Amino acid sequence: MKIPIDDKLNSKNVKPTAMRELVLDVLIKQTTAISLSDLEQKFEKADKVTLYRTLKTFEENKIIHSIDDGSGSVKYAMCTDTCQCNPAELHVHFFCTMCQKTYCLNEIPVPSVSLPVNFDLQSINMVVKGICANCRR
Amino acid sequence: MKIPIDDKLNSKNVKPTAMRELVLDVLIKQTTAISLSDLEQKFEKADKVTLYRTLKTFEENKIIHSIDDGSGSVKYAMCTDTCQCNPAELHVHFFCTMCQKTYCLNEIPVPSVSLPVNFDLQSINMVVKGICANCRR
DNA sequence: AAAATTTATGCAATTAAGTTGCAAAGTTAT
DNA sequence: ATAACTTTGCAACTTAATTGCATAAATTTT
């Protein structure tokens, strides 16, 4: 497996097993977020639970982040290299109701909201639904 | 059953059955959003599917709106009288990670975001997670 | 008012996503 | 090489959401 992938895993303190290298390779190549069942289809031989735990491990170690896009299945996408998943660096996600794909809009930060008094903010999930540029044509 | 409840149902073109009156009465009294299983516990005698379909009917007719707060179960809360559930009139929801309650922040509209070119907006789901005023004390 | 039709409700069962327990296989340290 | 730990695979379970179908209730037609 290619060195950059192992570097990525090592830099996030995740041991580079064959499974993890393969999964990370797939994740890196995605242009849209991917669900566990999407991943299952790409690895017909691999066990669902192993893929599940691989995603969980990646998420815990901030290699990827999970997105609840309201589609009923959680999607996952790469974090940026420096991402710490703080509220301040969250971005908007876009779910296309036509192709069902979920995009990270990394350029669009989640706007700050002023909460009622004594409400403390931990994180924000902002998902925009609509038609993506590909489907609109 | 009280007249105002029937009025509400009639004004939204939902026939006022006993079940619907009871469910709407519960919904009106909530200060936070409620899930199907919450509702089941309040109506031990009623069938889950009936409650489910009652919620669906209410939602279709804009008596209530559903909220995907990321908790794994969809919550429901009353719409305002004039609500048409357009993107322009959406409000922010708040999920308390301590008490697990979901609040409609009716005073806080979802901020507008400018999407990449050729992305069309249909709706926005914005859920803020944190600690609510009740739990913070 | 009875019959026919539509609508609502209740029960059984299914689907799908997410998750846990445990044993086998693989890896690392002694 | 053995012991200790980590990862993987299989089986099974949980929960939420949903569908089909039969019965019951309400509404409409005759």
The span from the CA of B46 to the CA of B17, in Å, is: 14
CA B53 centroid distance within chain: 14
Q: What is the pLDDT of residue A57?
A: 97
The pLDDT tens digits for B23-67 are: 999 999 999 999 999 999 999 889 999 999 999 999 999 999 999
Q: Which residues contact A27 (CB under 8 A, 6 or more apart)?
A: A34, A58, A63, A64, A76, A77, A78
Q: How many domains does chain B have?
A: 1
Does nucleic acid strand C have an atom less than 7 angstroms from the CB of A49? yes
Q: What is the pLDDT of residue B93?
A: 98
Does nucleic acid strand C have an atom less than 7 angstroms from the CB of A41? no
The span from the CA of A54 to the CA of A58, in Å, is: 6
Residue of B nearest to A74 (CA): B70
Q: Which residue has the tokens 């609109």?
A: A136
Model confidence band, residue B2 (pLDDT cutoffs 50, 70, 90): low
Q: What is the pLDDT of residue A137?
A: 82
Q: Give B 64-103 residues with CB within 8 A of chain A.
A: 68, 70, 92, 94, 97
Which of A30-34, A48-52, B52-56, B87-91 shows the lowest per-residue confidence on average (mean pLDDT)?
B87-91
CA A73 centroid distance within chain: 12
Q: Which helix (H) or strand (E) holds A28?
A: helix A18-29
Of A114, A121, A133, the CB nearest to B130: A121
Q: What average pLDDT does this structure show over B95-123?
A: 96
Q: What average pLDDT does this structure show over A121-126?
A: 95
Residue of A nearest to B72 (CA): A72
The pLDDT tens digits for A49-101 are: 999 999 999 999 999 999 999 999 999 999 998 888 887 889 999 999 999 99
Q: How many residues does chain A have?
A: 137
Give the Å distances, CA to CA, from A70 to A120, B45, B81: 24, 31, 26
> For the sheet containing B91-96, what is the strand order?
A102-109, A91-96, A120-131, B120-131, B91-96, B102-109
Q: What average pLDDT does this structure show over A32-42?
A: 96
Model confidence band, residue B89 (pLDDT cutoffs 50, 70, 90): confident
Q: What is the pLDDT of residue A117?
A: 96
Contact B116 A124 (CB under 8 A): no
Q: What is the pLDDT of residue A1?
A: 54
A72 backbone φψ class: left, alpha, beta (φ>0; ψ -120 to 50): left
Nucleotide with smallest C1' distance to residue A47 CA: D9
Q: Is A79 helix (H, G, I), strand (E, B) or coil?
A: coil
Q: Beta strands A120-131 and A91-96: pairing type?
A: parallel
Q: Contact, B16 vs B6, CB < 8 A?
A: yes
Nucleotide with smallest C1' distance to residue B45 CA: C10
Q: Contact, A73 vs A35, CB < 8 A?
A: yes
Q: What is the pLDDT of residue B20?
A: 97
Q: What is the pLDDT of residue A85?
A: 81
The verdict on B116 touching A (C-beta cutoff 8 Å) is yes
Which domain does A9 fall in, by range?
3-136
Domain harbouring B9, CATH code: 1.10.10.10
DSSP A1-22: --HHHHHHHHHTT----HHHHH
**One-letter amino acid identity for B15?**
K
For chain A residues 32-91, those near strand D by a CB cutoff of 7 A are 46-47, 49-50, 53-54
pLDDT cut 70: percent of chain B above it: 98
Q: What is the pLDDT of residue B4?
A: 87
Q: What is the pLDDT of residue B82?
A: 84
pLDDT cut 70: percent of chain A above it: 99
Q: What is the mean pLDDT of chain B?
A: 94
Does nucleic acid strand D have an atom less than 7 angstroms from the CB of B10? no
The verdict on B108 touching A (C-beta cutoff 8 Å) is yes
Q: Contact, B25 vs B75, CB < 8 A?
A: no
What do you get for the CA distance between the two ends of chain A, in Å? 38
Q: Per the structure block, which two tokens stand in for A94?
A: 């876009």
Contact B118 A136 (CB under 8 A): yes
Q: What is the pLDDT of residue B100?
A: 95
What b-and-e string marks burial along A99-119, b requiring 16 or more CB atoms within 10 Å of the CB?
eebbbbbeebebeebebeeeb
